[in-house]
Amino acid sequence: MEYRTLGRTALRVSPIGLGTMNFGPVTPEDEARALLSAAHDAGVNLIDTADVYGADANRVVGDVSERKGLTERIIGGWLAEDPGRRDDVVLVTKAYGRTGPGPNDMYLSAKHLHSACEASLRRLRTDHIDVFMLHHVDRAAPWDEIWEVLDDLRRQGKIRYAATSNFAGWQLVQGQEAAIRRGLLGIVAEESIYNLMERTVELELLPACAAYGIGVLPYSPLNSGLLAGILAKAQSAQRSASARAVDGLARHRDGLGEYEKLCRELGADPAVVAQAWLLTRPSVTAPIVGARTMRHLTDGIAAAELALTAPELARLDEIFPGPGPAPEAYAW
């Protein structure tokens, strides 16, 4: 497997990341551990999780699921099986979401980020987090406060790098400039929704990431399964519980038909082509493969090995055209 550096850092990561959001509620613990081991054996060293993953909507106490943190505990148990694994893994976890009933048990205050980091360390059974990610924007949290706590955690050896998820381009610029003023490395990665059908990030976010050397980790690379060959799978639309997927299928059936036809001509699975396309995009380091089954993992690994030609990439752009960069996309 050919490793890539994460943004402007020297940190080398696999060209796909193992997304673990389904571990626990959807993928049972024994199967999740098998996926972790298979990914490790294949050379996938990037593991992506979050403190709120593992929540079961059917088991809620007040407004907080009693199972939040389950995914981190599963990963922590897997790491503890073989302590040598921890040195092989680049571990990403996130903080922002509600983890308790109190008013400061969520968002990006210094108080919550400190406690969230400590709790993740306990659940993951490790002494440090490689990439500590702000899971969403908190408009009430000033960057001076955020960098104060992140630098504090870094100096304590509890985190190595800081990153963001679901931020806008202007917010990354604002955050990175604040880091520069403090003499800090700043943001090294941004995790955003990005796929052939959802290309909004090309307007502002990708140019901002390119300008500051921020690596992009796309999530939902298959757009809720729409890019995984949904038309060829006769009952996929009926099986899907995602309203977003059902709506997307209704609006984009013709384009998906052209896409699946092209994949057949290439002799490649649609799920593999969609992820391979992401690996050609500017600033993208590694798509996050939200694996529920071993097949999802093997498709991601195959994508890292598929080289798309310039004519093939041009055809994909014809089927699913992006918005183009700003401001050219909307100005003269």
Identify the active-site residue in 3, 53, 219, 259: 53
Q: Which two tokens stand for residue 137?
A: 């924007």
Q: Which two tokens stand for residue 213?
A: 């050397």
Q: Which two tokens stand for residue 79?
A: 């790491």
Contacts of 270 (CB under 8 A, 6+ apart): 227, 228, 229, 232, 259, 260, 263
3-state secondary structure string across the chain: CCCEECCCCCCEECCCEEECCCECCCECHHHHHHHHHHHHHHCCCEEECCCCCCCCCCCEECCEECCCCHHHHHHHHHHHHCCCHHHHCEEEEEECCCCCCCCCCCCCCHHHHHHHHHHHHHHHCCCCEEEEEECCCCCCCCHHHHHHHHHHHHHCCCEEEEEEECCCHHHHHHHHHHHHHCCCCCEEEEEEECCCCCCHHHCCHHHHHHHHCCEEEEECCCCCCCCCCCCCCCCHHHHCCCHHHHHHHHHHHHHHHHHHHHHHHHCCCHHHHHHHHHCCCCCECCCEEECCCHHHHHHHHHHCCCCCCHHHHHHHHHHCCCCCCCCCCCCC
Query: CA 65, CA 84: separation in Å to the nearest integer?
Result: 32
Per the CB < 8 A criterion, the answer to whether 150 and 165 are in contact is no
Catalytic residue list contains 53: yes
Query: CA 62, CA 199: separation in Å to the nearest integer?
Result: 37
Residues designated as active site: 53
